Amino acid sequence: MPRAFITGITGQDGQHLAEFLHGKGYEVFGMVKGQNNPKFTAMRDEFPYVEPVPGDLADLPSLVKAMELTQPDEVYNLGAISFVALSFNQAELTANITGLGVLRMLEAVRMVGGAQNNPIRYYQASSSEMFGKVREIPQNERTPFHPRSPYGCAKVFGHDITVNYRESYDLYACSGILFNHEGPRRGLEFVTRKVTNAAARIKLGLQEELVLGNLDFKRDWGYAGDYVKAMWLMLQQDEPDDYVVATGETHSGEELVSLAFSEVGIDDWQRYVRQDQKFFRPAEVDLLIGDPSKAQTKLGWTREVDFPGLIKMMVANDLRIESAKR
């Protein structure tokens, strides 16, 4: 039975990946920080097969111990301070966890290593936020980075150090540059889920308005369930490499709101939406659109859910959850 170790197990991607790897017959270990982590307790019923392992991305000895204890074939480093807006307020924490946390994971993998003929394969969750103020359209694996937030800067370090450890120590280490990926498990602080949840609540009479920040942005949004397959595929190749994972389409903030509201039968969404400076960021990423051709050609990866399908799925989920609260 292959063994996989996942950091960020309680997040959206951690949950999708655990489910996917369990379906493939893996023994799945999830790193859990702190004592009595409430997020992990909450997911125990849905993922009884995930074995918790204590550890923290800020604590190298705990990562080394986790590697020794679990002896994984594959390590997926999905753990991070992942909310871009928060990174402006907690920049040092973001640099420590999202940036230096990668270095610590790579060191733990290098120190424990795995069997000589079967070294640990490492996946790093890199991000389209690294492209920031984009230097070319669409963005691919060779597009230069220009991050626009402490989060983006930390992710650039994580990506670069992953490539550096691969080149320096011959580690099997891959960096997946994933564009925005969403779904029913997305946290309510991210714009897609905030919008689909508000549309459902407004429809049900549970909320009167939706307060947002800048709507003049474009994102390449895909479905998280499709994207975790690409992570796994990267680790099944003969040689480690870096891949952009994206849909190749971009949609604006207004399109997102309009589509979510029309899903609940509201056509005049402008009546319900107000903008507030408190949700604007000091520097914005205006346009992201990825070129996934390398992942498609080399990994044989394709996405199954398109943008309207994604928003439909998320609105249906929020209607179900919110109806139960009434």
Q: Which positions lie near ligand GDR, rule CB under 6 A? A: 82, 84-85, 127-129, 179-180, 189-191, 194, 212-214, 217, 219, 253, 279, 281, 284-285
CA–CA distance, 290 with 250 (Å, rounded to integer): 8
CA–CA distance, 212 with 87 (Å, rounded to integer): 18
- Yes or no: say if 145 and 130 are a contact pair by the CB < 8 Å rule: yes
- Yes or no: say if 196 and 188 are a contact pair by the CB < 8 Å rule: no
**Smallest separation (angstroms) from ligand GDR to the CB of 96:** 16
Whether 168 is catalytic is no
**Smallest separation (angstroms) from ligand GDR to the CB of 61:** 27
Residue nearest to ligand GDR (CB): 127
Strand partners, 177: 126, 244
- Yes or no: say if 256 and 105 are a contact pair by the CB < 8 Å rule: no
CA–CA distance, 32 with 45 (Å, rounded to integer): 16
Looking at the Cβ atoms of 62 and 140, the one nearer to ligand GDR is 140
Q: How many other CB atoms sit within 10 Å of the CB of residue 165?
A: 21
Burial (CB count <10 Å: 0-12, 13-18, 19+), residue 223: buried
Q: Determine the straight-line distance between the first and last CA of the chain, rounded to whole angstroms.
A: 45
CA–CA distance, 311 with 183 (Å, rounded to integer): 8
Q: Which of 247, 215, 206, 213 is nearest to 230 (CA)?
A: 247
CA–CA distance, 43 with 31 (Å, rounded to integer): 13
**Smallest separation (angstroms) from ligand GDR to the CB of 118:** 31
**Smallest separation (angstroms) from ligand GDR to the CB of 133:** 12
Looking at the Cβ atoms of 179 and 243, the one nearer to ligand GDR is 179
**Smallest separation (angstroms) from ligand GDR to the CB of 80:** 7
Q: Which of 82, 123, 128, 129 is catalytic?
A: 129
**Smallest separation (angstroms) from ligand GDR to the CB of 128:** 5
Looking at the Cβ atoms of 40 and 217, the one nearer to ligand GDR is 217
Whether 258 is catalytic is no
Q: Which of 122, 151, 172, 227 is catalytic?
A: 151
Looking at the Cβ atoms of 3 and 159, the one nearer to ligand GDR is 159
Looking at the Cβ atoms of 70 and 197, the one nearer to ligand GDR is 197
Burial (CB count <10 Å: 0-12, 13-18, 19+), residue 48: exposed
CA–CA distance, 58 with 64 (Å, rounded to integer): 12
Looking at the Cβ atoms of 3 and 251, the one nearer to ligand GDR is 251
CA–CA distance, 105 with 90 (Å, rounded to integer): 21
Whether 304 is catalytic is no
Q: Which of 82, 87, 126, 127 is catalytic?
A: 127
**Residues labelled as active-site residues:** 127, 129, 151
